[in-house]
A and B are shown apart, each in its own frame.
Chain A
Amino acid sequence: MSNDTVLVLVVITALAFDFTNGFHDTGNAMATSIATGALGPRTAVAISGLLNFVGAFLSLAVAATIASGLVATGAVTLTVVAAGLAGGIIWNLLTWLFGIPSSSSHALIGGVIGSTMAAAGGSAVLWHGLVSKVVLPAILSPVIAAGVAACGTWLLYRITRSLTEGARRHGFRIGQVGSACVVSLAHGTNDAQKTMGVITLALIANGTLTKGSNAPVWVIVCCALAISIGTYLGGWRVIRTLGKGLVEIESPQGMAAESASAAVILLSSTFGYSLSTTHVATGSIIGTGLGKKGADVRWNVAGRMATAWVFTLPSAAIVGATAYGIAYGIGGSAGVIIDLVILAALSGFIFWRSRATKVDHNNVNAEWTGRVAPEKVPAESAAA
């Protein structure tokens, strides 16, 4: 079997990752709008999908970081990329099952780093690039976003204090639609680029592109499509945790959180920081709870998320390294194919498990009872 067959498989797996990325992260843009009722759940995911598509065409700075700033491109083979993607996808699906808004970006980066280390040892990882462009931004960005969102929240309530509750809710719902749209655009810009970077990495590994190349246009278009379809299908479990689990949100807070997320994500993408839109969105939502007197942040939910964040890079790395080990043990194209078959089987299993406690557009806003899957509602109140 030729290398080109493996390349095609790797590109398809990368697009599958991009799909889970969109699906996992719909909540980052739309959770607060859905929670405050500014947008109907289905309208929200449709708009978000469309804007993710547009956003993917905005910038290539982050794709460049992924393609050349994290691992020594010489050490990367198609098997390494395939194993890395497997790590990213599995971690993304597991966290989605538990409704934890973990970072898709870290899942991907962790997976690729794990498989690179398994293949070529620790020296093939550009640790400086990893720490300065991924780890430090991951720590700083949620703090900055929380600060911006707290300032914004305070200002919004202060400036509109003479308005009636109703007028304020009504006015900011309209503003929220706008700010949520900008977050979707920002998400497309930052996250679609990560997959573009990985596909570019695979093309470089295969010798199709020269080292240091930008992502080709067909790659940009495919990634834009994959992430927007994923977004449209909507990761309702994560939307629920973000919109209802962390803080009970009013529309001015929703607008403040979204504006802060959009600003921080877009600015960072411009500098080539592959930060996690998830970390930023979560930081903003917590910030908006801090900026309003009497708002309660559910720190236990926040704590669970933070734990997942710490584990994301290493866990995805372990899965990536294991996947590389399996592929290497079997050897050649067959190894990559077996890896992807295992990946598909595991994904199917996780999806099947998720059906048992379904969260969708019907029950996404149900009262928070301490877990992702809402209590079963009696038939008459569900119909109302």
Chain B
Amino acid sequence: MSWINLSALWKIIVFGLIAGAGLPALFAGGLYALSLGPKTAHVRAAGVDGDIDSDVVVGGSVAGMALAALAFLVILAAIGWSVYEIYTLGHPAPKK
């Protein structure tokens, strides 16, 4: 009997980082891709003096929007898959 289950600990850290920091980073990547294109170009061109209060997210580039959609879909799929995994792992047969 050990006090710390090391195999559970490293899994919690590694998968925690992948899901807990990686997925939101992917979401950020999606937002970045979404922002590419002509509609937000003036903000970039103007730099820090630009229209920093603009809340336009969609830049209008088709490739960017496609990439963003892909990123968001991957996130949803990852959440759905995790919930399914937790459900199967969380219902063990009762101990005899």
Mask: chain A, 141-173; 1 = CB below 8 Å from B; 0 = not: 000110111011001100110111111111110
| Number of B interface residues in the complex (CB < 8 A) | 51
Task: Give complex CA distance A268, B19 in Å.
Answer: 13
Given contacts A166-B55, A171-B31, A212-B95, contact A149 B20 (CB under 8 A): yes
With a cutoff of 8 Å between Cβ atoms, the chain B residues found around residue A260 in the complex are: 16, 20-21
With a cutoff of 8 Å between Cβ atoms, the chain A residues found around residue B20 in the complex are: 145, 148-149, 152, 259-264
A188 to chain B, nearest CB (A): 12
Choose from B21, B32, B83, B91 the contact partner of A151 (Cβ within 8 Å): B21
Task: Give complex CA distance A318, B20 in Å.
Answer: 37
With a cutoff of 8 Å between Cβ atoms, the chain A residues found around residue B9 in the complex are: 140
Mask: chain A, 165-194; 1 = CB below 8 Å from B; 0 = not: 111111110010011001001000100000
Tell me if B95 and A61 are in contact (CB < 8 A).
no
Q: Which B73-94 residues have C-beta < 8 A from chain A?
A: 75, 79, 82-83, 85-87, 89-92, 94
A33 to chain B, nearest CB (A): 14
Choose from B24, B52, B79 the contact partner of A155 (Cβ within 8 Å): B24
Task: Give complex CA distance A131, B5 in Å.
Answer: 12
Task: Give complex CA distance A207, B29 in Å.
Answer: 56
Task: Give complex CA distance A159, B92 in Å.
Answer: 41
Task: Give complex CA distance A162, B42 in Å.
Answer: 12
With a cutoff of 8 Å between Cβ atoms, the chain A residues found around residue B54 in the complex are: 164, 166-167
Choose from A61, A140, A163, A178 the contact partner of B31 (Cβ within 8 Å): A163
Tell me if A58 and B83 are in contact (CB < 8 A).
yes
Choose from A68, A156, A214 the contact partner of B28 (Cβ within 8 Å): A156
Tell me if A60 and B91 are in contact (CB < 8 A).
yes
With a cutoff of 8 Å between Cβ atoms, the chain B residues found around residue A271 in the complex are: 5, 8, 11-12
A179 to chain B, nearest CB (A): 7
Chain B residue with the shortest CB-CB distance to A54: B83
Choose from B2, B13, B43, B83 the contact partner of A164 (Cβ within 8 Å): B43
The answer to whether the Cβ of A132 comes within 8 Å of any Cβ in the partner chain is yes
Given contacts A59-B89, A263-B15, contact A148 B25 (CB under 8 A): no
Tell me if B1 and A128 are in contact (CB < 8 A).
yes
With a cutoff of 8 Å between Cβ atoms, the chain B residues found around residue A182 in the complex are: 79
Chain A residue with the shortest CB-CB distance to B90: A59
Tell me if B87 and A58 are in contact (CB < 8 A).
yes
Given contacts A148-B16, A166-B54, contact A255 B24 (CB under 8 A): yes
With a cutoff of 8 Å between Cβ atoms, the chain A residues found around residue B1 in the complex are: 128, 132
The answer to whether the Cβ of B62 comes within 8 Å of any Cβ in the partner chain is no
Chain B residue with the shortest CB-CB distance to A61: B90
The answer to whether the Cβ of B57 comes within 8 Å of any Cβ in the partner chain is yes
Task: Give complex CA distance A144, B28 in Å.
Answer: 22
The answer to whether the Cβ of B50 comes within 8 Å of any Cβ in the partner chain is yes
Task: Give complex CA distance A156, B21 in Å.
Answer: 9
Tell me if B23 and A164 are in contact (CB < 8 A).
no
Given contacts A61-B92, A259-B20, contact A170 B25 (CB under 8 A): no
Chain B residue with the shortest CB-CB distance to A261: B20
Given contacts A167-B56, A266-B86, contact A152 B24 (CB under 8 A): yes
A341 to chain B, nearest CB (A): 36
The answer to whether the Cβ of A317 comes within 8 Å of any Cβ in the partner chain is no
Q: Which of B19, B34, B92 has the most CB of A within 10 A?
A: B19
B50 to chain A, nearest CB (A): 7
With a cutoff of 8 Å between Cβ atoms, the chain A residues found around residue B79 in the complex are: 182
B55 to chain A, nearest CB (A): 3
Task: Give complex CA distance A68, B54 in Å.
Answer: 56
Task: Give complex CA distance A264, B18 in Å.
Answer: 11
Task: Give complex CA distance A182, B89 in Å.
Answer: 18
With a cutoff of 8 Å between Cβ atoms, the chain A residues found around residue B11 in the complex are: 267, 271
Given contacts A162-B44, A264-B12, contact A255 B27 (CB under 8 A): yes
Chain B residue with the shortest CB-CB distance to A169: B55
Task: Give complex CA distance A305, B20 in Å.
Answer: 24
With a cutoff of 8 Å between Cβ atoms, the chain A residues found around residue B40 in the complex are: 163-164, 167
Give 5 pairs: A residue, B residue, CB < 8 Å, sorted on A.
Answer: A140-B9, A160-B31, A259-B19, A259-B24, A263-B16
User: 5 tightest CB-CB pairs across the interface, nearest first?
Assistant: A59-B90, A263-B20, A166-B55, A152-B21, A159-B28
Other 4 A-B pairs with CB < 8 A, given A58-B90, A59-B87 = A58-B87, A168-B31, A170-B55, A262-B19
